[in-house]
Structure formats: C-alpha cells, structure tokens
Structure 1
C-alpha cells in the first residue's frame, strides 16, 4: 500500500503518528511524509531562512530512520490558508503524485491554525484529486483514499475510533523525534514542554486505553465514497 502522511510542520508527524509509520514501513508499505510548511518561524533566535534549512535537514534525518520519502509544499508558517484555491490545487497535486491508499493528517480540531488548515485542505484534496477537470502537473487519481486523522496532541475532544499498538516501534518514534533538535529547544522555550517526555506520557496514556504499553490513536473519516473497509495494514 501507499501511505501518505501530511503534517503542517516538520516534527508534527513524528509527534503524532511516527510509531504507526514505522510499523507500516516494517510491514513493507511505501511511506511518504509530507510537511506542508517549512517550519521557518519556530525559533526565538534563528532567522527564518536559516531555520528553513535546519528543519529540512532534520526532517530528512528523521525520515531516513524508516526509509520514508520526504516532501514539502514550501508554505511559510502561518501563511497556509485553507480557502485559497491555489493552495487547494497544490494539495490536489500532492495526492495525485502520491496516489495513496491511505492518508493520515491532522484532526479538524487540532490546536493551531496551520494544523487545522492542513486538515481541511487534505479533506478537499483527497476527493478533488479524482476529478480530471482540475488540471495539475500529475494526472487525476483513480480513487478517493481512506482518510485518517491523527491525535491532536493533548487528546482533548479527540476520541480514537481505533488504536495502533506501537510498543515495538516506540523507540523508533522517539529516535525520529529526537532528530528535530531545533524544536526540542523551541517547544521548551515557547510552550514550557519537554516534548520527549510529553510524547512518552501521552503514548502510555493511549496505551492504557488500548490495552498495551504504548499506542497511537486515530479517527477514521467515515463518509460516502470513502473506502471505509480500508484499515491500517498493521
């Protein structure tokens, strides 16, 4: 299967679904990790152009741990608007390039605007990518992929419809997240959060709910035309 995971910024996928991505890769599936934004504003001291390059390298180093393909759509942080048709077309072309069976992205009720915009844009793009009258670089997709929302960090008003036991890939998840050194500093300074400890604690919480040591929670988007029988092959 082709799995397309789309986060707003480098490190978002690592925080919320890297254990699942590692498990899918181990099972032999093709993984594409896409960061919609450059992550150019997530630091107090490093200027945007310099930070963009740092975060690009961090994303590549992280994805290399599971041999994932890495893409970026190149939006500046805070500059991603869901109602822009131009932006929608970029996301449509992303889906057409990846030709996914399953898409993983942010929940509609996530905590900040870029995350919410990505969620909305992926909802639009996964359907409209199949309509050939929308002209993009890549040809129209032949199916609407299954759409899954990953946890919204704190889990507030997010009730998973299923869990993935990531106990055996949780260390890989932490190793991937640790590659994002610029953000370990930023989240500590900006949000007073030790993100490594945060992710570990939250993974244990979802694990308690799922009946295992560590878990990641997801909500499947259930709607007509969606291949609702498609489940994570893990």
Structure 2
C-alpha cells in the first residue's frame, strides 16, 4: 500500500513519513487537494528497531531504498535534512502495534490457565518490553523533536489480525501513546469517530479484504484532524 508524494502547486503543509498506514492519509490528502510531501516508505515491522542512524547530526535510514525516498522527499521541500524543515512532520513509525501484539511473543508470560497474571498488561515489566520493542521509533521521534520540529504521530486503525492478541494490542498501544505523549509528540487519535462500542474499527473505515489497514474514509478522518490542528 503506497502513495506518491503530492504537493500540487501550493506549498506543502506537512511531510508525511510512515509505513503502510500512511497510505490512506496520503490518498485522502491528495483527494482533498491538501498539499503535502511524502508517504509510506516501507512495512511497519521495519520501523521499530534499528532502522536509522544519526550521523553528524543528520538522520540516515539504514535501508538504501528508504533513504533514497527520504532524500527525495527532502529535495521536494528544498531542504537537505529534517532539521531544515519548515513544515510539521507527520509519521506512523512505531505504531503498527499489531506486530508488538503477536500472540506467540507473549505465551511465556501467561499463567497455566492461558490468562495473563493480574496487572501484567499495566505493569512496568510489560511497559518496558513494549518500549524496548519500539526503541528505534521512539529514538526517531526524540531526534525529530530535538531538531525543533512540530511532530505528529497517528494512532493506527483499531484492527487486530488473527496472529495478534487483542488485549496486548490495546495495552501496547497505550504504552506507545504514553511514551510519545511524554516526549512531546502530538497524537492524532480518531478512535472516537472510527470505532464501535467494542473499540474495534467500524467497517466503514476498514480497507476491504484486508485485516489491518484503514481505508480512504479513515484517511479522511485523519486529514480532517490535521487540518483542525492548523496544518
């Protein structure tokens, strides 16, 4: 799921850097005529740990193809480094939490009856494990904020594929949300509008025949939120 960068003739309002969850955001912005640069640069599993370095103060993605796309986006904005951005950064890195919630990863923490011990999903141990799983993404956001950028992170569609545990998904998402909030990242959270009474993504905002992604309508909710924030 990809989308090309889109600026039109008007100045870009934001740089979009993310995984496949950035696709609906880019498509919705393009459909609405909202100028931006960027889009998805890879799969969510690739942007949790060990995906970038900071060399001489500049962010460098370790994957050559991702770095090439990143440099291309910066060139469209007439800058050579994130620190020179004059527009906000919008990202989905570290927020494909269904990877953190993969059921097999958590079996050793379950009791004999298959349930988690009381308080485990809100414990310091759980919090520390999830933060470690997302340490590269958190470092990315910390670096961007350190450059003085306005940084917004978009919470994912509330969709839990069969390989993932719904309870871990919700708890891991809350851990990442708190971590980003503590850093000073603005959280784009449209759950109140996109979910049903169970907290799951409503069908109207799901990509058909796809267990993970949101659709164009979901992207429109996010773009509307960005515009309401002044982007």
Give the TM-score taking structure 2 as reference length. 0.37
Structure ranking higher in strand proportion? 1
TM-score by length of 1: 0.37
